[in-house]
Amino acid sequence: MGINRKILRISLAVGLAVLAVFYFIAVQYSFTQMEGTWVAFIRNDKIRKISATPGFKLIVPGEEVFNLPKTTLVAEVPPARYFVDGSAVMAGFLISWQLVDPQAYLETIVSVDKTDSMIIESVTDILRDRLVRGDGLSRDDFFALAGSLPGQLNDSRTVKDSGIHIESVMISDFSPAADDGGLENNASESNPLYGEKLRILRSVGRQWERDTN
Amino acid sequence: MSATEKGKRKIPWTGILVLAVFMMIVIPVFSTSFYTVNYDQTALVFRFGTLHAVREAGSYSKVPFGVDRIARIPTGNPQIITLPVGRGDTGVYPYTSSEGLPVYVSMNVIYRITDPLAWYSAGGSQDLLIYAHIQDILVKKIAGMKIAELRDKKQGLSRLLLAGLLNDRTLAGWGIKADKTELLQIDIPLNDPAMVGADEKIIDLTVTTMLAAMKENYKKAYAGGSLNEDVMARIKEDGYPWE
């Protein structure tokens, strides 16, 4: 009876120890690669392997793991001032992109934030080059230029080398830009002509309210 | 039982240990082995990261300890995106009409998730992608129309956009289908900085457009009899004041 108890205690202790070791290994040296990701295994600052298939993966001690998205991501180019049809407009863009070559991506860019900055810089360069000179473009030409941006970006050395692919460029903002003096919301102070006309419109509006009440 | 006997009573360490091990195994197993999918959801079950099953509403069991992971996709309820997004004090970005005037247009786009896996694969950027895509369509459509046209064709514009979205392959690729578009507002933003800073031509055009719209309102109100009695009588006698 005494021996049985001793065996039971030892078995339990061994069982617990095995469980603890298993838990430690499971947490420290394994992970699940999910659908929609690439995983890069890095050892001594060198890419040892890039895995594209989801599943349960083990990590060799001393190895670092980078999760990279296969999914579509969006970079935002904030509204900037351009000349379209001879007038200033504020135009902003949202750009969808995908990582297609994780090896090139890791060797050049490494982070999504840096990719966004690179895309914003490339788009701004292309647009400024075409739009800031002279009177800029007509509206149709501007939209056509926006439509051609994915091709132009994908052909550029910077994008090619960074292992990403630009899917689409979407115009998120296209609004008339205020003149530098017209940024105040007080119409009559910043633009006397407009202030006068605004008063007429408002008096017509008040008349309408009186006539329909 | 005396106090001395109580003090000598042995603590059952073996029993406690067995119970502890049992609890350490059974509780986590139990707590991670079942899941529920609500009536308005579809669940994607990933086993070791690979899609293993697609489940509709109900209660299910799964392999515990994170082997099976569940992603619940809201396929039952319609999703709504309101355009455009806010800007500073004025609240919305104006669009630009074909005359170059700023114009506030706000609308709801109601859509459903038709392909949960495609939706899941878009990986968290779906709302932004959908927003950007619809905004792109809206910017280009509005830029091709005059303000008067926009105001007249309110319903038409809404239908036009819905038709465009229904045939849109990009949205289908993200696993969604547009159900309905609701045009909420079309207005000339009188106090928008762009309007305040505009040149004379734009300001004149705005005033002309707005006065024309107001005249139209008077004509409709007169025909519908919704003006005050004295105004109705005055128009009957003298005609519209601006004619």
H/E stretch holding A166: strand A164-176
State residue B124's pLDDT score.
66
Judge whether residue A108 has pLDDT over 50.
yes
Non-local (6+) Cβ contacts of B142 within 8 A are: B95, B96, B97, B103, B105, B150
Predicted interface score ipTM higher than 0.95: no
Which A residues 6-35 touch B at CB under 8 Å?
8-9, 12, 15-16, 19, 32-35
Cα Rg, chain A, nearest whole Å: 30
Quote the Cα angle for A101-A106-A107, to 5°.
100
State residue A187's pLDDT score.
46
pLDDT band at B90 (very low <50, low <70, confident <90, very high): very low
Residues of A with CB below 8 A from B200's CB?
193
Whether residue B133 lies within 8 A of chain A, CB to CB, comes out as yes
* 3 state DSSP class of A178: coil
Judge whether residue A23 has pLDDT over 70.
yes
Nearest chain A residue (CA) to B174: A72
Closest CA to A205 of B233, B213, B195: B213
Which B residues 149-188 touch A at CB under 8 Å?
170
Whether residue B139 and residue A174 make contact (CB cut-off 8 A), yes or no, is: yes
SS3 string of chain B? Answer: CCHHHHHHCCCCHHHHHHHHHHHHHHHHHHHCCEEEECCCCEEEEEECCEEEEEECCEEEECCCCCCEEEEEECCCCCEEEEECCCCCCCCCCCEECCCCCEEEEEEEEEEEECCHHHHHHCCCCHHHHHHHHHHHHHHHHHHCCCHHHHHHCHHHHHHHHHHHHHCCHHHHHCCEEEEEEEEEEEECCCCCHHHHCCCHHHHHHHHHHHHHHHHHHHHHHHHHCCCCHHHHHHHHHHCCCCC
State residue B61's pLDDT score.
92
pLDDT band at B120 (very low <50, low <70, confident <90, very high): confident
Judge whether residue B37 has pLDDT over 90.
yes
pLDDT band at B144 (very low <50, low <70, confident <90, very high): confident
Whether residue B46 lies within 8 A of chain A, CB to CB, comes out as yes
Q: What percentage of chain A reaches a pLDDT higher than 70?
A: 85
State residue A39's pLDDT score.
93
State residue A184's pLDDT score.
39
Most confident listed range (A155-164, A203-212, B36-45, B169-178): B36-45
Residues of B with CB below 8 A from A81's CB?
none
Model pTM above 0.90:
no
Q: What percentage of chain B reaches a pLDDT higher than 70?
A: 85
Residues of B with CB below 8 A from A18's CB?
none
Judge whether residue A135 has pLDDT over 70.
no
- pLDDT single digits (tens) A65-93: 988 888 888 888 888 888 787 777 888 88
Quote the Cα angle for B30-B36-B39, to 5°.
170
Residue A126 identity: I
State residue B54's pLDDT score.
94
* 3 state DSSP class of A50: strand
Q: In what order do the strands lie in the sheet with A164-176?
A: A73-84, A87-99, A164-176
Q: Minimal Cα–Cα distance from A155 to chain B, Å?
A: 22
Whole-angstrom Cα distance, residue B16 to residue B11? 9
State residue A185's pLDDT score.
42
Which residue in B62, B70, B136, B208 has the most chain A C-beta atoms within 10 A of its own C-beta, making it the best mutation to test that interface? B136
State residue B34's pLDDT score.
92
Residues of B with CB below 8 A from A204's CB?
210-211, 214
Whether residue B135 lies within 8 A of chain A, CB to CB, comes out as yes
Judge whether residue A181 has pLDDT over 60.
no
Residue appearing with tokens 């109705």:
B232
Whether residue B128 lies within 8 A of chain A, CB to CB, comes out as yes
Which residue in B139, B141, B168, B176 has the most chain A C-beta atoms within 10 A of its own C-beta, making it the best mutation to test that interface? B139
Whole-angstrom Cα distance, residue B209 to residue B205? 6
Cβ atoms of B122 and B175 within 8 Å: the answer is: yes
Closest CA to B134 of B82, B91, B184: B82
- Flag the least confident range among B15-24, B31-40, B203-212: B203-212
Tokens coding A54: 């989801």
Neighbours of B204 (CB within 10 A): 14
Judge whether residue A104 has pLDDT over 80.
yes
Average pLDDT, rounded, for chain A:
80
pLDDT band at B191 (very low <50, low <70, confident <90, very high): low
Distance of CA A66 to the CA centre of its chain: 18
pLDDT band at A28 (very low <50, low <70, confident <90, very high): confident
pLDDT band at B242 (very low <50, low <70, confident <90, very high): low
- B35 versus B158: which is more confidently predicted? B35
- pLDDT single digits (tens) A53-65: 988 888 888 888 9
Nearest chain B residue (CA) to A5: B14
Whether residue B143 and residue A174 make contact (CB cut-off 8 A), yes or no, is: yes
State residue A179's pLDDT score.
56
Neighbours of A13 (CB within 10 A): 12
pLDDT band at B85 (very low <50, low <70, confident <90, very high): low
Q: Which residues pair with A56 in a beta bridge?
A: A32
Whole-angstrom Cα distance, residue B45 to residue B35? 11
- A102 versus B10: which is more confidently predicted? A102
Average pLDDT, rounded, for chain B:
79
pLDDT band at B58 (very low <50, low <70, confident <90, very high): very high
Q: Minimal Cα–Cα distance from A205 to chain B, Å?
A: 8
Cβ atoms of A50 and A40 within 8 Å: the answer is: yes
Cβ atoms of B235 and B222 within 8 Å: the answer is: yes
Q: What percentage of chain B reaches a pLDDT higher than 90?
A: 12
Most confident listed range (A20-34, B31-45, B106-120): B31-45
pLDDT band at A134 (very low <50, low <70, confident <90, very high): low
Omega before B84 within 30 of 0, i.e. cis: yes
